[in-house]
Each structure stands twice: as structure tokens, then as C-alpha cells.
Structure 1
Amino acid sequence: MEINGFSVLLFKTNIRTESDKQFMTELMQLHDISQWTVDQEDVDCVLRIVSNEVQLNDVIALVSQHGYQCEELT
């Protein structure tokens, strides 16, 4: 999916708590991912990233290597 020329990546995760979200904030900052959200109210805890620099498989690997579930939401 694209918005204003940027790719929108959607993932199903288990980022459920505020401490999970805070950890993700630090992780995303560390990897220069500035446009992201996680919907903790959604059953799939949807992680949404808007970027042209980040690849789908890179996000899955990054989030997974820190102990969270992460898969492409189709």
C-alpha cells in the first residue's frame, strides 16, 4: 500500500503493553524509523510503518529478534 508516495507496511504483533510500546519507541528511534504506530486496542496489535527506506523482512527480523511476534498483515 502507498500513501503520498510512501510505502505503508502493516504487521500483526503481540506489542500489547505500554512497556512494550516504550521499548518499540526506543527500537524504532535507534533504527531511524520515525513514522510508526501500534494499535494496542486491535486484536492483532497492528504495527504500521510509513517509509520508503524500510523493507518488510527487515522489520519482521528486527521486531522478532527482540522477542516479539511480528508477521505481515494481509
Structure 2
Amino acid sequence: MNTAQHILVFKTNIATVEDRLKVAQVLDRQPFIGKWTVDLEDVDRVLRVVAAIPAIDSIIALVNASAYECAELED
């Protein structure tokens, strides 16, 4: 069984606790996401996702569908 975990990092415009709750309704339902956090204090509102698969495009689409901006954060 593959138990590899991928840590994916994104820049977002998720700015408030209310915003985070709206995104939670979508992200919490994804079976490939183990856990996730949003740093509301960071200028980039960094979304970190621990996922079973490197589903970068899927996560961006899910956040965008929740009416928020999301882009992969480059090193």
C-alpha cells in the first residue's frame, strides 16, 4: 500500500476565518486530502495541504470554485 504523503503549498486570498470555513466545506470532503491549513497571518495567505496524491490542479480548481484565488506557491 502506498502511504506517501505530498505537501502542497499554495498562495491564496483566503483572508478571514469565515473564508476558511467556506473553503473547509469543499476541502474536508476530498478523500485524498489528509489535512490542510491556511496561514491567515502570512501575506500570501498560504494554504498547505497534505495529500495522498500530488493533486495540484484539483486543489486549485476546488478553491477557485469556492470563489477564492489559488495558485501554486513556487520556491
TM-score (norm 1): 0.85
Q: CA deviation at 1:59?
A: 0.4
Q: CA deviation at 1:72?
A: 0.2
Q: Which runs of 5+ in 1 are unaligned?
A: none
1:66 aligns with 2:56: no
Q: How much is the aligned-residue C-alpha RMSD, in angstroms?
A: 1.6
Give the 4+ runs in structure 1 shifted more than 4 A: none
Percent identity between the aligned chains? Answer: 41
1:20-64 deviations in Å (ceiling 9; x for gaps): 011122211222334100000000000000112350000011111
1:44 aligns with 2:63: no
Counterparts of 1:26 and 1:34 in 2: how far apart (Å)? 14
The residue aligned with 1:25 is 24
TM-score (norm 2): 0.84
